[in-house]
Amino acid sequence: MNAKLNILCISSVVVLIATNDLHACTRAVYKGPMQTVLTGRTMDFAIDIPANLWVFPRGMERSGEVGENSIRWTSRYGSVVASSWDIAAPDGMNEKGLVANLLWLVQSEYPDFEPEGDRPGLTIAAWAQYALDHFATVAEAVEALSLEPFVVVTDFIPGTDKFTTVHLSLSDATGDSAIFEYIDGELVIHHSSDYQVMTNDPVYEEQLAIRRYWENIPGTVFLPGTNRPSDRFVRASYYIHAIPQTDNPHLAVASVFSVMRNVSVPYGISNPDQPHISSTRWRVVADQKNLVYYFENILTPNVVWLDFENLDFAAESPVKMLKLDEGEVYAGEASDALVASSPFVFQGL
């Protein structure tokens, strides 16, 4: 479907995007020797999805942004996140090495939210941020989120008849992993350190079935090469284990980036019959051992990163931003280029 739709962001910027499924992302966790753990992801989207990097300190007062019955909390941990239009945080890592990624899942169906009900609500735009603010490990997150302390609240993308439908992946510095999905209104959690790879579709149970099938076919003999989510899942699953096993951070980061580029969708590629296949807009590799967050925008010629040793996450320290959404170009460690900024507001109801 080629019709274009208006999206009104909080900043009142109007963005035109294609309808139907918008994301087509891939995420993979690398586990090397000496507790080396890195998580890579691609952000694939139908149009450019401007991102800035944000440094959030501990002690931030947050709201679920869905009205009076919003969950409220104070952040326990500082984090670095990549924003989308400065209205959502689809990706980030906190100071304990917990990484959160949001990927599109068209089958998602969330529970009904009652504005005057017993359970508070949380805008889907802040779902990943809630995890980064609260948890040091995947096990902590699984224990707490399985109690469903809030209702994830999605809504029509402004000006459209399309809901935001995503699933959440978490990984931590031990290499543990979990995927959180809402299927038919019920929370489904897949928790295992073996769950290193996921794509946007299908539901994760079916992705595991794909993995079991392809485990019997050596990757050196044949790998599926299309941009379809199932094919990207197979390639990422093979290559994340085939790349060098090393505790050299430079080689590990380069190796994970090479996997994420292998499963990226080339720029400008689109298929009206398969709208879930969208060009890769940016890539992230989060080094969870050394606490460095690497970001690559495909329209700029190099990688920028933030080393957590150079960041101040103390409560009352300022929120800072690295502006990237207008083609700014940085190379290497860029903490000196951060500027104090008012935090963006998560889009809600």
Is 345 inside a domain boundary? Answer: no
349 within domain boundaries: no
Domain assignment present for residue 346? The answer is no
Q: Is residue 63 part of a domain?
A: yes
Is residue 226 situated within a structural domain?
yes
With respect to residue 347, please indicate whether it lies within any of the assigned structural domains: no
What number is the average pLDDT over the span 291-302?
93
The pLDDT tens digits for 104-116 are: 999 999 999 999 9
Q: For the chain, what is the domain count?
A: 1
The domain in which residue 161 lies consists of: 4-340
Pairing of strands 304-307, 332-333: parallel
Helices 229-242/249-262 angle, 10° precision = 160
List the structure tokens of 187. Answer: 């929370």
Q: What percent of the chain has pLDDT over 70?
A: 89
pTM score, whole prediction: 0.91
Position 271 scores a pLDDT of 63
Over the stretch 144-180, which tens digit does the pLDDT of each residue have? 999 999 999 998 765 556 678 999 999 999 999 999 9
Structure tokens at 253: 């980061």
List of E strands, 47-126: 53-56, 61-63, 72-74, 79-84, 88-94, 99-104, 121-123
Phi first, then psi: give them for residue 177, nearest 5 degrees. -150, 150
DSSP 209-249: HHHHHHTTS-TTT----SSSHHHHHHHHHHHHHHS-----H
pLDDT at position 12 over 90: no
Q: What's the angle, vertex CA 134, arms to CA 131 and CA 136, rounded to 5?
A: 90
| Two structure tokens written together for 166 | 């995503």
The CATH number given to whatever domain includes residue 248 is 3.60.60.10
Residue 25 known to be catalytic: yes
> Which candidate in 25, 28, 88, 303 is catalytic?
25
Q: Cα–Cα distance between 8 and 24 in angstroms, integer?
A: 22
The SS3 assignment for 317 reads coil
User: What is the pLDDT, as a whole number, of residue 274?
Assistant: 59
pLDDT for 221? 85
Q: Which of 291, 289, 280 is nearest to 80 (CA)?
A: 291
Does 39 reside within a domain?
A: yes
Residue 234: inside a domain = yes
pLDDT at 159: 52
User: How is residue 130 annotated by DSSP?
Assistant: H
pLDDT computed for residue 155 by the predictor:
80
